[in-house]
Structure 1
Amino acid sequence: METVEKERDAKLAPYLRQAHAMFRNGFEDEEMKKIFLRNTFEEICSNEHKFCFDKSLSFCLEEMIKESDMETVLKFFDSLSGDWEEIAHSPSGSHVLQTIFGKIISDIELSKKPHESDIKSELLGIIKHFVTLVEGNLNEMMKDPNGSHVFRSLYQTLAGVLLSDSRKSDSEPDIILAKGKVPKNFLKMLKKLTTNIIEAPRFNELIGNAHGSVCIALMVEVLHKRSLMKTQGVFCEKMLSHLKDDSMIIMMKDKHASRIFEKILKFGNKNTKIALRKVLFDDEKRFFELSAHPVANYVVQRMISSAHDSEVFKEVFDYVCRGFEDILESQNYGIMQKLCEQCLEYPDTQKQFYDKLLESFHCTDIEKRTAFISLISTLRTHDSYFNSSTAKITSVEYHGSVLLQTLLKFDNIGLIAKSMSHTPVSDIVTLACDGSGSHFVESYLTTDKLKFKVKKEFLEKVGDGWLAIACDKYGSRVVEKMWDASDIAVKRLLIKILLKNADAMAQDQFGKFVCRKVQMKRYQTRPEEWESIQKDICQKRKMFADIIPKTDSAKRVKR
Structure 2
Amino acid sequence: MVAVGYKALPLRRLKDHSVAETTQFSGEEGCVVYRQGRRRNMGRKADGRRGSSDGNYQSKASHGSEFDKAMKDKKYQKKQDYSGDAETSHIRNQIDPETVKYLSEIANVLESGEVELEERSVVCGNALEESRGKEMELATDHIISHTMQTLLDGCDADHLCSFLRSCAKDFGRIAIDRCGSHVAETALNSLSKHLQDEDFYNLIKDTLTLICQEIVRKPVVVMCNCHGSHVIRSLLCLCKGVPLDSEFHSAKPSTALSRRLNLSSDKELKNETPIVHQGFPDLLKFLVSEMLKCNATDIAALQVDQFSSLVLQTALKLLAGQEQDLLHIIPVIMGCNVENADQSSFIEKTEVQNIRDLVKENAFSHLMEVILEVAPDTLYDEIFMKIFKDLLYDISSHPAANFAVQALISYARSQDQVGAISEELGPKMKDLLKMGRSGVVASLIAASQKLHANEHKCSKELAAAVMAANEAPICIVPRLLLLDNYLFSKDKANWSWTSGCRVHLMGSLILQSLFKYPSEYIQPYITSITSMESSHVLEALKDSAGARVIEAFLASKAPDKQKKKLISKLKGHFGELAMHSSASFTVEKCFNASDVPLREVIVTDLLGVQKELSKTRQGPLLLRNLDVDGFARRPEQWSSRQKSKLTVYKDFLAEFSEPETGSWERKNPPPDVSKKATQQTNMKQMRQEIDTVLASFTNSDSSKKHKKQKKSGKDHGDDNVEQKSSSDKKKRKHHQKDDTSKSSKKKLKS
Counterpart pick for 2:451 among 339, 346, 352: 346
Shift of 1:334: 0.8
Matched residue, 2:138 = 51
Rounded to whole Å, the distance in 2 between the matches of 1:52 and 1:482 is: 59
Counterpart pick for 1:208 among 304, 310, 333: 304
Count of aligned pairs: 528
Rounded to whole Å, the distance in 1 between the matches of 2:423 and 2:352 is: 23
1:384-395 correspondence runs (5 A): 387-388=493-494, 390=496, 395=501
Checking the alignment, whether the CA contact within 8 Å between 2:219 and 2:291 is kept in structure 1 is no
Shift of 1:333: 0.9
Matched residue, 2:473 = 369
The one-character-per-residue Cα deviations of 1:184-241 (angstroms, maximum 9, x if unpaired) are 5x257336514523x464221121112222223333323335x2x3232122223432
Shift of 1:382: 13
Asked whether 1:420 is paired with 2:514, we answer no
Shift of 1:323: 1.9
SS of the residue aligned with 1:256? helix
Matched residue, 2:670 = none
Matched residue, 1:459 = 567
Asked whether 1:135 is paired with 2:242, we answer no
250-259 vs 410-419, which deviates more?
A: 410-419
Asked whether 1:258 is paired with 2:362, we answer no
Counterpart pick for 1:39 among 119, 126, 133: 126
Rg bigger for which structure? Answer: 2
The one-character-per-residue Cα deviations of 1:432-469 (angstroms, maximum 9, x if unpaired) are 22232122123333x16354433333333443455664
1:405-554 correspondence runs (5 A): 405-412=512-519, 413-445=522-554, 447=555, 449-464=557-572, 466=574, 469-470=577-578, 474-483=582-591, 488=596, 490-495=598-603, 498=605, 513=619, 523=631, 526-528=634-636, 530-531=638-639, 549=679
Shift of 1:169: 8.9
SS of the residue aligned with 1:146? helix
Higher normalized contact order (CA 8 Å, seq sep 6+, divided by chain length): 2
Counterpart pick for 1:182 among 252, 269, 280: 280
Checking the alignment, whether the CA contact within 8 Å between 1:159 and 1:182 is kept in structure 2 is yes
453-462 vs 163-172, which deviates more?
A: 163-172
Rounded to whole Å, the distance in 2 between the matches of 1:253 and 1:66 is: 43
Checking the alignment, whether the CA contact within 8 Å between 2:171 and 2:215 is kept in structure 1 is no
Checking the alignment, whether the CA contact within 8 Å between 2:312 and 2:367 is kept in structure 1 is yes
Checking the alignment, whether the CA contact within 8 Å between 1:441 and 1:478 is kept in structure 2 is yes
SS of the residue aligned with 1:323? helix
- Pair 1:448–1:195, CA change in 2 (3 A): closer
Rounded to whole Å, the distance in 1 between the matches of 2:443 and 2:492 is: 28
Counterpart pick for 2:167 among 80, 86, 108: 80
Q: Which runs of 5+ in 1 are unaligned?
A: 554-559
Matched residue, 2:86 = none
Checking the alignment, whether the CA contact within 8 Å between 1:221 and 1:267 is kept in structure 2 is yes
The one-character-per-residue Cα deviations of 1:520-550 (angstroms, maximum 9, x if unpaired) are 6764564235446767988999999989738
Counterpart pick for 1:334 among 436, 439, 446: 439
Matched residue, 2:156 = 69
Matched residue, 2:181 = 94
Shift of 1:301: 0.3
Counterpart pick for 2:409 among 304, 310, 328: 304
- Paired amino acid for 2:451: Y
Matched residue, 2:429 = 324
- Paired amino acid for 2:138: F
The one-character-per-residue Cα deviations of 1:20-57 (angstroms, maximum 9, x if unpaired) are 42679863xxx655444433433544444333123454
Counterpart pick for 1:272 among 370, 379, 388: 379
The one-character-per-residue Cα deviations of 1:218-267 (angstroms, maximum 9, x if unpaired) are 33323335x2x323212222343268333322321221121121111111
| TM-score normalised according to structure 2 size | 0.61
- Paired amino acid for 1:388: N
Rounded to whole Å, the distance in 2 between the matches of 1:512 and 1:274 is: 47
Rounded to whole Å, the distance in 1 between the matches of 2:570 and 2:176 is: 63
235-244 vs 249-258, which deviates more?
A: 235-244
Shift of 1:299: 0.2
- Pair 1:25–1:388, CA change in 2 (3 A): farther
Checking the alignment, whether the CA contact within 8 Å between 1:470 and 1:511 is kept in structure 2 is no
Rounded to whole Å, the distance in 2 between the matches of 1:73 and 1:533 is: 64
Rounded to whole Å, the distance in 2 between the matches of 1:239 and 1:77 is: 30
Rounded to whole Å, the distance in 1 between the matches of 2:376 and 2:450 is: 21
342-351 vs 513-522, which deviates more?
A: 513-522
Asked whether 1:249 is paired with 2:356, we answer yes
Rounded to whole Å, the distance in 2 between the matches of 1:214 and 1:89 is: 15
Matched residue, 2:510 = 403
Q: Which runs of 5+ in 2 are unaligned?
A: 1-94, 256-270, 338-349, 658-677, 684-750
Shift of 1:325: 1.9
More helix by proportion, 1 or 2?
1
- Pair 1:100–1:178, CA change in 2 (3 A): closer
Asked whether 1:111 is paired with 2:111, we answer no
Matched residue, 1:196 = 293
Checking the alignment, whether the CA contact within 8 Å between 1:297 and 1:332 is kept in structure 2 is yes
Rounded to whole Å, the distance in 1 between the matches of 2:173 and 2:488 is: 62
- Pair 1:206–1:471, CA change in 2 (3 A): closer
Asked whether 1:234 is paired with 2:328, we answer yes
- Paired amino acid for 2:366: R
Checking the alignment, whether the CA contact within 8 Å between 2:234 and 2:249 is kept in structure 1 is no
Rounded to whole Å, the distance in 2 between the matches of 1:488 and 1:61 is: 66
Rounded to whole Å, the distance in 2 between the matches of 1:32 and 1:251 is: 55
Checking the alignment, whether the CA contact within 8 Å between 2:489 and 2:495 is kept in structure 1 is no
- Pair 1:386–1:329, CA change in 2 (3 A): closer
Checking the alignment, whether the CA contact within 8 Å between 1:66 and 1:99 is kept in structure 2 is yes
Rounded to whole Å, the distance in 1 between the matches of 2:560 and 2:419 is: 36
Checking the alignment, whether the CA contact within 8 Å between 1:266 and 1:302 is kept in structure 2 is yes
